[in-house]
Each structure stands twice: as C-alpha cells, then as structure tokens.
Amino acid sequence: MGVRKQFGKELSAFQALQFRIADMATELEAARLMVHRAARSLDAGHPDTTMHCAMAKRFATDAGFEVANQALQLHGGYGYIQEYGVERIVRDLRVHQILEGTNEVMRVIIARKQLHEGRNV
C-alpha cells in the first residue's frame, strides 16, 4: 500500500486509512481469539462447545470476509488482479460463510442455546 499515492502523499499517510487498518487488525484479532476459545472448549469437552464453535465460525467468517473486502477496496483495481491474491481471499472467505453450515444456521444454534438456558444477552 505504501507505493500508491493520492494528492502527492502515500496512502498510508492518511489517518482515515490508518484507522481502517487498525479496525481491520482488531476484527481479525477478535476472530482469532474466538476461534482459540472454541478450540479450547472443544478440547476440554465444555458443555457450551457447540455454541462457542458456532459463534467463532459465524464471527470469524463474517469478519474475515469484511476485512478482505475492505482490503480489496484499498487496493483499488489492483485488488482484482490475481497476482495480488486479494480477490482469491475474498472469494474463498465468501464460501466459508456458507460451508459447514451457513452463518444463518450458526445464528439459530447460538440463539437456541441462549434462549434454552435463559441467558442474559
């Protein structure tokens, strides 16, 4: 991204883009933490494993897709060129929102668990 310029400045110098990058990194870190929690839950045989895994799958694939889509946007036309790899990541992440149970199904699993146990959300 440091190569591209706008108004005579590198794109990385614009505070709005810096904020976007910070938000993207934060979303990815939150997704990683949820996946790690789900894995620990599965390894430990925790009673909420199904819900933890559904939450992690839903959040990680949605966050990943959104971050990849924003990265494609930041790359402009170059984002669609195969040698940059961004377009493949966007395509692959979209598929993961559907495979192994759609994210809508994950929401049903989460909601049922929350409602069944009368949890406060």
Q: Return the number of other C-beta atoms located less than 10 Å from residue 20's C-beta.
A: 16
* Residues assigned a catalytic role: 100
Q: In this structure, what are the phi and psi dihedrals at residue 114, rounded to the nearest 5 degrees? A: -65, -45
User: DSSP for 11-78?
Assistant: GGG-HHHHHHHHHHHHHHHHHHHHHHHHHHHHHHT-TTHHHHHHHHHHHHHHHHHHHHHHHHHHHGGG
